[in-house]
Amino acid sequence: MTIAPQAPMAVPEFLELEITGRCQLACSHCYAESGPTQGHGSMTTEDWTRIISEAAAGGARTVQFIGGEPSLHPQFTELVQHALDSGLRVQVYSNLYRVRAEHWDLYGHPAVSLATSYYSDDAAEHDEITGRKGSHDSTRANILEAVRRMIPIKVGIIHMHDGQRSEEALAEMLALGVKRVRLDRVRGVGNAAQGGLPSTSELCGRCADGKAAILPDGTVAPCVLGRFLPAGDAKAGPLAGVFAGTEWARVAASIPRPSHAGAGVDEDACMPSPGRRFTACNPDQDGSDCAPAETEACGPAYE
């Protein structure tokens, strides 16, 4: 029997939807430069709803809602439900600082998973990195609640500096029952660039490889960390047209690929084993693991 080859997908199978720049935290390394005073961007709810519908029709399998803190978007629940109704898997990359009761119900859907970032088993060190006192205890408690509810969760531990209790944080997460934990260094994008120009050398090499990001103003990028490489405008027309365009092809070709990179998205490809601490992929954000924990091609995580 001859099996006809599948038609190429019009849209990458993993899309990171950065629906807001607002966040309760003020992390000094945040790649999105988000914070309490940031807005939700110029993308309307109608824009995001259209994008989600076009993604599902174009061959996407998973969307990751990321920010900022995505749950702060006023239509967050509506957008997640629309993605689920469209047949997509959903990952929410949240700081887990605060979780509303109705959101726990949403996260309990069988097609939903969570991702978050964590920095230290020491509360003071964690809170210093996030710029929010009490964030360690809140995030840790909500990670535990996700485990208790048997909600799939990925935790990305971002190593910021020498002496940070990153390894201890990894061991803590495993002891708490988190099945998917990864440790990665901070990347020089956004706040962490410290005023310098970001470089493609800071990327995992899997950006634009079965994944893409859409930013709060509609800019299409190869991933949330690759936000400095604009490759189209999702507000200007059909999403499939962006990925068929010459600008997307040019940007995708500009990203150095690791020798181990393969075709397609493997969300476990860069998850560390106990003997392999630092991954070859991006830090948090993940969502897909190559995002903000990143999150699908190389593992999420992200704030």
With bands split at pLDDT 50, 70 and 90, how would you rate the model's confidence at 138?
very high
Contacts of 232 (CB under 8 A, 6+ apart): 219, 220, 242, 243, 245, 247, 248
pLDDT tens-digit series, residues 21-57: 999 999 877 877 888 999 999 999 999 999 999 999 9
**What CATH architecture does domain 14-253 belong to?**
Alpha-Beta Barrel (3.20)
Three-class DSSP category at 233: strand
Residue-range domain boundaries for the chain:
14-253
CB 205 within 8 A of CB 195: no
With bands split at pLDDT 50, 70 and 90, how would you rate the model's confidence at 291?
very low
Residue with tokens 């934990």: 181
Q: Which helix (H) or strand (E) holds 155?
A: strand 153-159
Three-class DSSP category at 112: strand
pLDDT tens-digit series, residues 93-103: 999 999 999 99
Determine which of 8-12, 213-217, 239-243 has the lowest per-residue pLDDT on average: 8-12
